[in-house]
Structure 1
């Protein structure tokens, strides 16, 4: 039986930035994947939440006639942004330096549907995330967590002019933002979100000061991974 995809297709944002939109079902935890298209090779911002998700994005890139990805940037190490990486071939994976140890720890876990069930039994607050992982990855035999091939600590400019900048934050300590100056678009991942649900307290809220600082840079578009793009100018 062929893969049942539900592919959504790429949406053009501005300039050379395209977006495979987030899954509108919040229970699916399907982050968006951005494509910054360039004839020297496209830049992917995040990998998709599973190999199947990555294959959907790859088909959408081909259908749109965009150059194949050459670089894959993790905005942070969380599963819904990184678990699709093993389905991307011939890409250089780039992340903040602190992501390597975090992903290595995740790679050491014995991922399986039974492991997910056992973990939720021990900590029910993991339920929403782990149920979404079970739906995203029907076959854990094809999952391989890919560690970064290249890291940086402050900023990094890719050969296509895309600028990566470390911002950190409460959601994930390795969070970075990506800016395409040519298109005047900033992609922020989940950097200003509160911590993941299983780590969240009643006092945790979105980091609005961080969001305001980023918005103050006045790029034409501001895109997080679980919302529609925001036009800001």
Structure 2
């Protein structure tokens, strides 16, 4: 379900069963943007349907926070430009070379190329794994990109984090809202979630100068700046 945070910022629910993440929708006076493309065409089409039901402007482009399947595999259902950082583009390009059918999917699981956690959730999202198609973004930035939506500025930038080397965040500047993607979380290594206190510390330091009041992690509830930084401080010293 699409929720209203303010007149210019909306967000979806996350789903623990399918591992669908929070997606964002941001609208200015001239342009609107999606934040992440979801885990499948079905997922993103449901979100687009809710945007239309609310009478909101159709998104003009989508910003990808990182390459993981639940944030990107809905891209092929969108007929708008996609934006990502260089590392994300390169990782998606690697994914696009995989053969997506039942036989290869099982092989990827056995070899560890796809972790069991991901395998289980992809089976929930896709009744037929051969439906997976990887679309590559058309607009690629190196470390930072700022976009004027008309009275509203969004900035996306790469951040050091424990979850993935290509993680980026999206700041909705005037609203003081920060979409975190999965950058707030630990790293999935085989069946285990592994934290990296040194990377958490760097993440904390990089986000400290950023002017935000509320953050949206992709798989948990929104949190205040103070709550987020308190948790990061604990993880740094773990």
Q: What TM-score range do you get, normalising by the shorter chain?
A: 0.7 to 0.9
Cα deviation, 1:169-224, whole Å, max 9, x if unaligned, reads 33222111111112110111111322224285756469542246525635121111
Given that 1:39 and 1:67 are in contact with CA atoms closer than 8 Å, whether structure 2 keeps it comes out as: no
Aligned pairs, number: 222
What SS does the corresponding residue of 2:67 show, helix, strand or coil?
Answer: coil
Q: How does 1:110-189 map to 2 (within 5 A)?
A: 110-123=99-112, 126-160=115-149, 161-189=153-181
TM-score, normalised by the number of residues in structure 2: 0.84
Given that 1:194 and 1:206 are in contact with CA atoms closer than 8 Å, whether structure 2 keeps it comes out as: no
Indicate which of 191, 214, 222 corresponds to 2:215.
Answer: 222
Q: 1:124 to 1:153 in 2, by over 3 A?
A: closer
Cα deviation, 1:42-69, whole Å, max 9, x if unaligned, reads 1111000111111111111111111101
Moved over 6 A (4+): none
TM-score, normalised by the number of residues in structure 1: 0.85
What SS does the corresponding residue of 1:98 show, helix, strand or coil?
Answer: helix
Structure 1 stretches lacking a partner, 5+ long: 1-8
- RMSD over aligned Cα atoms: 2.4
Greater shift, 130-139 or 63-72, is seen at 130-139
